Structure 1
Amino acid sequence: MSLIRITAGDFSFAARFEETAAPKTVAAFRTMLPYRESLIHVRWSGEACWIPMGDYDLGLGAENATSYPAPGHVILYPGGISETEILIAYGPCCFASKAGQLAGNHFLTITEGLDDLATLGRLTLRQGAQPITFAVE
């Protein structure tokens, strides 16, 4: 099992790849590591933060896709109706865009630090973008 360290703002989380359920998404994301970006709060989806990726094409389709990620689930929307993005749920969430409900590929699950995830989400909502890094542990 491969572990990923996610560092966002002052917080650190361990996560595991969902290699069996989303092998193509995991493989595509691995090629991007270490991945550094800014995490912002969602507009339509509820209690989640996201990383907009614009028209970045990973060559993926739906794989282990969900519209209702649980807290600690990390999903990747490969683009189509809306832009490519990564979403991290920290509370109740229905993944959506201005075009309507979406489904993203659940490819990572946070396994350590979940108690801090909602704090990070609220901080991002109130104080704005936080730096985020995904790296192999």
Structure 2
Amino acid sequence: MTKIKITAGPYTFYGKLEEELAPKTVAVFKKLLPYREKIIHVRWSGEGCWIPLGDLDLGLGFENNTSHPAPGQVIVYPGGISETEILLAYGGVCFSSKVGQLSGNHFLTITEGLENIVALGKLTLWEGAQDILFELAD
């Protein structure tokens, strides 16, 4: 099991890559590590934060995809009818965009630090974009 450290705003989380359920997505994500970006609050999907990736082609199709990630689940939308993106759910999410409901590949699950996931979401909602870093855990 590959463990990931996620530093987002003032919070630190640890998670596991879903290597058995989303092997292609995990392989692509591992190549990006360490991955540093900004997260912003979602516009359409409910209680989540996202990283817009525009027209980036990750070369992925759908695997282990869902429209309703649970708090602490991270999904990637590989692009198509909407832009490519990574979404981190902190509460109720119905993953969608201005073109309607979408589904994304659930490839990462936060296993430690969940007690701060709502605080991160609210911080992002009220204070704006937060730095986020995904890296292999020691």
**Under a length normalisation based on structure 2, what TM-score does the superposition of the two structures give?**
0.99
What amino acid maps onto 1:98 in structure 2? K
Deviations 1:53-89 (A, max 9, x none): 1111110000000000000000000000100000000
Deviation at 1:116, TM superposition (A): 0.1
Q: For residue 57 of structure 2, give the secondary structure of its aligned residue in structure 1.
A: coil
Counterpart for residue 33 of structure 1: 33
CA distance in 2, matches of 1:7, 1:99: 31
> Aligned partners of 1:14, 1:7: CA distance in 2, in Å?
9
- Partners of 1:8 and 1:31 lie apart in 2 by 20
Partner amino acid for 2:49? C
Q: Within the alignment, does 1:44 sit opposite 2:44 as a pair?
A: yes
The reply to whether residue 18 of structure 1 matches residue 18 of structure 2 is yes
Task: Give unpaired runs (5+ residues) of structure 1.
Answer: none
**RMSD between aligned residues:** 0.3
After superposition, residues 1-137 of structure 1 pair within 5 angstroms as 1-137=1-137
Q: Secondary structure at the match of 2:24?
A: helix
Q: Give aligned-pair identity as a percent.
A: 67
Task: For residue 32 of structure 2, give the secondary structure of its aligned residue in structure 1.
Answer: coil
TM score, norm. by length of structure 1: 0.99
Deviation per CA, 1:16-58: give whole Å up to 9, x if none: 0000000000000000000000000000000000000111111
Separation in structure 2 between the aligned mates of residue 22 and residue 95 of structure 1, nearest angstrom: 18
Q: 4+ runs of 1 displaced by more than 3 Å?
A: none
Residues of 2 paired with 1:6 and 1:98: CA distance? Answer: 28
The 2-side partners of 1:48 and 1:81 are apart by 20
Q: Tell me the number of residue pairs that the alignment of Structure 1 and Structure 2 aligns.
A: 137
Q: Distance in 2 between matches of 1:101 and 1:3?
A: 30
